[in-house]
Amino acid sequence: MPTLLLNTVSVSPANPRLPFTSTRRASSRHRCRAEASGSGSGSGSSNANEGYRPGGVRGSWVSDYDLYELLGVERSSPQSEIKAAYRSLQKRCHPDVAGAAEGHDMAIVLNEVYALLSDPAARLAYDQEQARRSEFAGYTGRPLYSSWLGAEAERRAVFVDEVRCVGCLKCALHASRTFAIESVYGRARVVAQWADEEDKILDAIQTCPVDCISMVERSDLPALEFLMSKQPRGRVRVSEGNAAGARSPNIFAEVSKFQKRFQEMQQKSETRESRVINHTTSKHIAWKKVALD
């Protein structure tokens, strides 16, 4: 499968590096270039009528791309705009313009992208897959805010429910190396796990007037901090009560569901990658047999 160079960012369908979302559109800055990644141009071709099947050979790489960004169109673009963008890029990637090898390989990729987005059912399946994946955009499996200073054997961690926090400062005064007041909303947050003695941390938890600090499983901390970052919050107003907005779901109840969905997505990605490797390997063997014959 050829490597795609888009806005000077190099990505490969077998090893994608494009982000889930981008703040820049690619419509006026496409550079048509494709580099063979070892499998030859033949490995990138497929039946144009195959359609998009999450987990299939084609689905194994296209689901990792923002195909709309690749074409330089919006997700809501009508079919006519997608077709026009596809034709424009095909002209730029014509072998006479981009070079025989690079143009041929890139044309194969564009054909697959257009075959998917021009099929209503395949496009809907792709959009749904991207929507599921976007839930985990930015999630690395590591805590967002707090560093770990505790013993490796320690399985507990400290977590602040920032939505419930009223910004009273008491936790930060009792355990100033563990807690801090973030500057955007004025709410408490753990910035360093076990940076203070345990007695100080427990005192800080006990002095919280709204009981928003909890001891949690260390393994749950990354998901908790990530989910908290998505919660609606406002600047705290202690004198008026914390009227910044309530959170509808229970974040602690959501953690296990979130982790389960993330694990399922990882397993699907590993399965897709394995299928790509097997598919590419079989193509290599086929080409070698043809060459030997």
Q: Is residue 57 part of a domain?
A: yes
pLDDT of residue 278: 54
Q: Kindly state whether residue 90 falls inside one of the protein's structural domains.
A: yes
The confidence score (pLDDT) of residue 289 equals: 52
State the Cα–Cα distance between residues 113 and 44, nearest whole angstrom: 12
How many other CB atoms are found less than 10 A from the CB of residue 274?
Answer: 11
Identify whether residues 121 and 157 lie together within a single domain.
Answer: no
Give the pLDDT of residue 18.
Answer: 38
Residue 142, in any domain of the structure: no
Q: Are residues 23 and 109 in the same domain?
A: yes
Domain containing 40 equals 3-137+267-292
159: helix, coil or strand?
strand
pTM of the model as a whole = 0.54
Question: Kind of pairing, strands 147-148 and 192-193?
Answer: parallel
**What pLDDT is recorded for position 40?**
39
Q: Is residue 256 part of a domain?
A: no
On whether both 121 and 28 belong to a single domain, the answer is yes
Distance CA 19, CA 24 (A): 11
Same structural domain for residues 151 and 223?
yes
pLDDT at residue number 249: 57
Q: What DSSP designation does 23 have?
A: S
SS3 content of the chain, % helix, strand, coil (to 5): 45, 10, 45
Same domain, 124 and 13: yes
d(Cα 3, Cα 17) in Å, to the nearest integer?
Answer: 11
Which token pair is 29?
A: 């800055």
Alpha-carbon distance of 254 to 53, in angstroms, equals 29
Domain shared by 38 and 80, yes or no: yes
Number of domains composing the chain: 2
Torsion on CA atoms 135, 261, 227, 211, rounded to nearest 10: 160
Report the DSSP beta bridge partners of residue 156. 217
In this structure, the answer to whether residues 123 and 170 fall within a common structural domain is no
With respect to residue 250, please indicate whether it lies within any of the assigned structural domains: no
Max Cα-Cα span within the chain: 84
278 with 167, same domain: the answer is no
- Kindly list the averaged pLDDT for each block of 10 residues, start to end, along the chain of length 293: 36 38 39 42 40 44 75 93 93 71 77 91 85 79 94 97 94 97 94 98 96 96 93 71 51 87 76 53 50 52
Residue 260 lies in a domain: no
How many other C-beta atoms can be found within 10 angstroms of the C-beta atom of residue 28? 6
Q: Are residues 165 and 235 in the same domain?
A: yes
- Residue 254 in domain: no
The CATH number covering residue 37 comes to 1.10.287.110
Report the run of H or E that residue 158 belongs to, with start and end. Answer: strand 156-160
Tell whether 43 and 160 lie within a shared domain: no
Q: Which of 84, 74, 76 is nearest to 114 (CA)?
A: 84
| Residue 252, in any domain of the structure | no
Contact (Cβ atoms closer than 8 angstroms) between residue 98 and residue 32: yes
Rounded Cα distance between 211 and 63, Å, is 42
CATH code, domain carrying 224 = 3.30.70.20
3-state SS, residue 156: strand
Considering the domain architecture, whether residues 131 and 152 belong to the same structural domain is answered as no
Residues 185 and 215 in one domain: yes
